[in-house]
Structure 1
Amino acid sequence: MRLRGITCAAVAAMLVTLTACGGGGGGGVKPSGPGRTEHGASPAPQSFTAPTRFSLRHGKPVPESAAADKVRVVGGLSHPLPVALHDGVLFIARPDGLDVVSGYGPGDPVTITPDRDPAVTLDHVMSISGHNPAEAPLITSSGGRTLALSALVTKVTGSGTTKPHDVVELMATDTVSLTKRWFTEIRLAAGDEYSGDRADANVVGRAGDIVVVFGRGRLFGVDLKSHRRVWTAKGTYEKGAVVAGDRVVALRDKPAGDNQVVGLRAADGKDVWTSPRSGLELSAAAPEAVMTYEYPTTDIRDRRHHLLDAATGGTRRTLPEDAPGSDCAYDGAAVTVCKGRDGFDETAAAYDPKSGKEIWRLPDAAGTRVAPEVTLVRAGLIYGKANGKPVVLDAASGKDKETRPGIAPYVADGYVGISETEDTTGLTAYRAVG
C-alpha cells in the first residue's frame, strides 16, 4: 500500500476537523467532531439529516477522478458517480485506487493505491475518454472501525513458466486514519486484456458479515472477519447486482443470449430462486425488494416492470405498461421512487415497497405539474431538476418541498452535496446550509 505525496501537514490540511499527526504506531488523522477546532483548524460545518438547501458560495472543486467518464461534455450525469460520502468526506473509487478528500475544507486528496499494478489507470481512462469501471465504495462498520470498501482489478506478473493473471483486490480503508487496514485478492479467470470490461470490479453490498464483490462478470463473497473469499457464485452476470436483505439479486447470463433474474443466498452464494421471465434491467427498490424489467420468454414485446420480493422472487406487483419503473431507489423512509421517460418528457412515481401500490405520479393527471429529472433519492427527499432549475420534493407526497435548493446533488450527506460545477464539466461539493 502506498500513499502518494502524503505528509503529516498535508493530511492535516485536507481534513478540517483533526488532531495532530502523531509519530510512530498508528498515526494519521482523527476527526475531532463537528463544530470543534484544534490546532487552528476551521470548524466543521453544521450537519443536517435531510438537507434541502446548499450554498453556492461555499463550494469546493471535486477531484477529476469523480467525473472521469461520468459527466457528459455538455453537462449532465451519464453514469452513477463513484463517490461515497462519510461525514462530509469524499471517498472516490478509481480504477487504480481510492481518492479521499474533505468536501468542505482545504487540502489535496489522499490516494490509497493497491499493492499490485492496476489493470487500468485513471490517466488512461481520461486520456481516451474510455470506460471508467469505478463505482462508489461501500461505507460500513467492522471490528469497531468504519471502513470504505472498494474493489479494483490488478495484474499478477508471471514467474518462470507460470502465466500472468489478474485479481480483484478488495481494499478496506479506515475512514479515520486513512490507511488501508487490510485487503484480499480474488483470482480471476483468463480474459481478453484489451477488452473494455477487463477492469470491471466493484463492491455490490453487504449482508451480515459477507461482502459481495463483482469482478469481470463473476460474483464473490468475502467474509469481513477472516478477510477471505468464501464463495464464488456459479455462472456469469451483468454488472448491476444488488444486495437486498440476505439475498443477492443479479442478472445471470444465459447461453441463449437472454439474461435471467436470480436470487442467491448471500451467506454461501447458492441459488434460491430464478425468475421465469427474461430480464433486461434490475435496481434496488427497498431493503428487501427489487424492481426488474422483464418479459415472458414467449413474447419479447410484453416488457413490464415487476416489483419482486428479494427473499422468494415472488411478484409483489406488476406495474402498468405506462408506469415509471426504471432506476428505482428506496427513500430510506417509506416509499420507492422510480423514474422513466415518455418520449422526451421525464416521468416519476412513488410506490409502496410492500404492495407496489402507486402513491403518486408526475406529470399529474391534471397537467399542472411536470416531473423532475431525478438526481438523488435520500432521507425522504427527491432531488432533481424541473423547468431547468434545481428542486427538492417530499418523497412520500410528491409535493415541492424546496424550490430554491441551490443545486440538484447526485450524492449528498448531512454536510455536502455534489453536483456539476456551473459552466464547466467538472464537479463541485457544496455545503449544506438548511
Structure 2
Amino acid sequence: MWFGHTVKAAAGACALGALLLVAGCGDDGDESSERPRSSRPDGSSADKNPSSATPRTSYPSPHLFDLTSAVPLPDEAEGGRQVTLHGTTAYVWSPESLQAVDTGTGAVLARVTPEREAAFKVTDVLRRAPRPPAVSGTGADAEVIALFLVKIPGSGTTPADYGLEIIGVEAATSRPAWRTEIVLPAWSRDRYLTLSAEVAGVENGIAVVRASNDDNEMTYAVNLSTHKTLWQKELAPWAVTGGAVVGPNVPDPYTERHLTAFDISTGRPLWTSRKSSGAASAREAGPHLVQFTGGWGIGDRFVQLLDARTGKVRSTIDGSFADMGCTYDGKAVIVCTGGGSPAYAFALDATSADLVWQLPDKATDRVAPSVTAVFNGAVYGKVTGTEGAGPVVLDSRTGLDIETSPGIAPVAVNGYVGIAPDSGSDTALAYRTTG
C-alpha cells in the first residue's frame, strides 16, 4: 500500500448502480436578453434560433474533445458547477431561472422561471444552490427538476412567507410539465439568517428537497407523479441513495452525531449508525452506498462506506483519506479521489470492495490526477506539477491512461459533450466529444 495507508474490505458485498461523483453529467436552461424571445403559455420562453442541425455522435465513454468547438454557456453556469447535461442540451440553474442551452450553438432554447417572484437574484451568490439540477427518469420520460425559493405575499394580518416552487421540466422539449409549491415554516422569515434551498436528490420517482437557514433545516419528499408531499422532517439530507435519505440525528455540528436514515417513500426510520462523531459528514458513494466521514482531528478521523438501506459497514478506509469523495463508475468499481499535495485516487471493486488500483504508484512511477469527473467507466482529471502535465482520461477499472491528450478535463460530461471552465476565468465552455 502507498504512504502506509490501508483500505480494508468489510464482510459482505456492495451492489451498486449508476451515480456520478465529482461533477455530474446528466443528460439536458435560459436565454440571453440580446436574443429575441417568443412567449409560451406554460411560463417558459423560447429562443427563435434553432437547435444545432449538425448531427452529433454520442460516445459511450468519451475521451477526446474538440477544442475548436468551444461554446460559452451563460454566466449562471458558474464554470460548470450549476450545469446538468441531457443529450446535447445543458440545463443551467440560477435563483431566478432554469435555462436550456444548445451546447452546439450556444442558443438558449428555453428559459423556465417560477410563477411567483424569486426570493433572491442571480447576484445573491451565497444563496445559490450547491448542487446542479436533478434529472428524474430516462429517455422520453426524463424530467429536469428545478427548485426555486419564492416570495408568497401576505394579506391583511397574515404575514408574507417564503416558499419552494418545484417545476418538472420535460427534458426533451425544455417545457414545464407541472409545478407545485410548498410553504416554508415561519423561521424562514428571519431576515438575519441566510435562507437557501436545493434538490438534495431524486430517486424512485421522488424528489428530496431541502430548505435551511443558519439555525434550521427542513426536508420534504415530493412524489413526482402526484406532485404531493409524502413526508417532511427536520433533517439535513446529506445523502439520497439506495431508497434512503441519510443525515445527522441532531442538527448541532458541535456535538457528537450519529447518522440516521429514513425510507424515501414513507419517511419511516431505517437505521442509526453505531458509530458517532463530531465534525461528521456524509455523501452518496453510489446507488446503494453512503460515505460516512467523521473525527475532530487528524488522529481520530475515519471513513466508512455504509449500506444505505441497512447501515451495515461495507468497507472501512484509512482516516487519512477523510477529504475524499467516492462514486460508482457506472460499470464495475467505486472510484475514490481527493486533493491535497499530492492528489490521490484509488478504486474498489463494486462487488467485493477489494482494492483494484491506486495512485500515486511508486512502482510504476505514476502520479494521481486531480479528478474532475467520473462517467461510464472513465475517470477525467488533470495532472499537475510534472513535465507534460495536463488533462488525462483513465480507465476506471484498471487505473491506466486511456488518453493523455483529451483536450479538456471536464467537470460535467456525457456522450455528446464535456463542460469545462475557461482557463483564467469562470466561464463554462461546452466542447463536442469526438472519440
Question: Structures share a fold, TM > 0.5?
Answer: yes
The one-letter code sitting in structure 2 at the alignment partner of 1:13 is N
Matched, 1:84 2:84: yes
Root-mean-square deviation over aligned CA pairs: 2.6
Match of 2:47 among 4, 8, 11: 11
The residue aligned with 2:219 is: 219
The residue aligned with 1:133 is: 129
Which residues of structure 2 form unaligned runs of 5+? 1-29, 40-44
Match of 1:44 among 55, 58, 71: 55
Instruction: Rate the CA distance shift 1:258–1:85 in 2: closer, same or farther, 3 A.
Output: same
Shift of 1:109: 5.4
The residue aligned with 1:312 is: 310
The residue aligned with 1:429 is: 430
TM-score under structure 1 length normalisation? 0.82
Correspondence list, 1:172-187, <5 A: 172-187=168-183
Match of 1:54 among 49, 65, 68: 65
Correspondence list, 1:292-307, <5 A: 292-295=292-295, 301-307=299-305
Cα deviation digits, residues 375-396 of structure 1 (max 9, x gap): 0011001000013400000011
Counterparts of 2:323 and 2:191 in 1: how far apart (Å)?
A: 35
Instruction: Rate the CA distance shift 1:143–1:411 in 2: closer, same or farther, 3 A.
Output: closer
The residue aligned with 2:255 is: 257
**How many residues are paired up?**
386
Shift of 1:209: 2.9
The residue aligned with 2:163 is: 167
Counterparts of 1:12 and 1:170 in 2: how far apart (Å)?
A: 26
Shift of 1:10: 5.7
Shift of 1:185: 1.0
Shift of 1:401: 0.6
Correspondence list, 1:282-361, <5 A: 282-295=282-295, 301-323=299-321, 326-342=324-340, 344-361=341-358
Shift of 1:289: 0.8
The residue aligned with 1:383 is: 380
Counterparts of 2:318 and 2:162 in 1: how far apart (Å)?
A: 45
Given that 2:73 and 2:106 are in contact with CA atoms closer than 8 Å, whether structure 1 keeps it comes out as: no
Counterparts of 1:144 and 1:83 in 2: how far apart (Å)?
A: 20
Counterparts of 1:107 and 1:416 in 2: how far apart (Å)?
A: 15
Instruction: Rate the CA distance shift 1:6–1:318 in 2: closer, same or farther, 3 A.
Output: same
Counterparts of 1:212 and 1:264 in 2: how far apart (Å)?
A: 12
Counterparts of 2:393 and 2:139 in 1: how far apart (Å)?
A: 37
Given that 1:62 and 1:426 are in contact with CA atoms closer than 8 Å, whether structure 2 keeps it comes out as: yes
SS for the counterpart of 1:384 is: strand
Instruction: Rate the CA distance shift 1:292–1:358 in 2: closer, same or farther, 3 A.
Output: same
The one-letter code sitting in structure 2 at the alignment partner of 1:175 is A
The residue aligned with 1:400 is: 401
SS for the counterpart of 1:153 is: strand
Given that 2:140 and 2:172 are in contact with CA atoms closer than 8 Å, whether structure 1 keeps it comes out as: no
Shift of 1:12: 4.7
The one-letter code sitting in structure 2 at the alignment partner of 1:247 is A
Correspondence list, 1:97-136, <5 A: 97-108=97-108, 110-125=110-125, 130-133=126-129, 135-136=131-132
SS for the counterpart of 1:57 is: helix
Counterparts of 1:356 and 1:375 in 2: how far apart (Å)?
A: 23
Shift of 1:366: 2.5
Given that 1:350 and 1:361 are in contact with CA atoms closer than 8 Å, whether structure 2 keeps it comes out as: yes
Shift of 1:409: 0.2
Which residues of structure 1 form unaligned runs of 5+? 17-41, 72-79
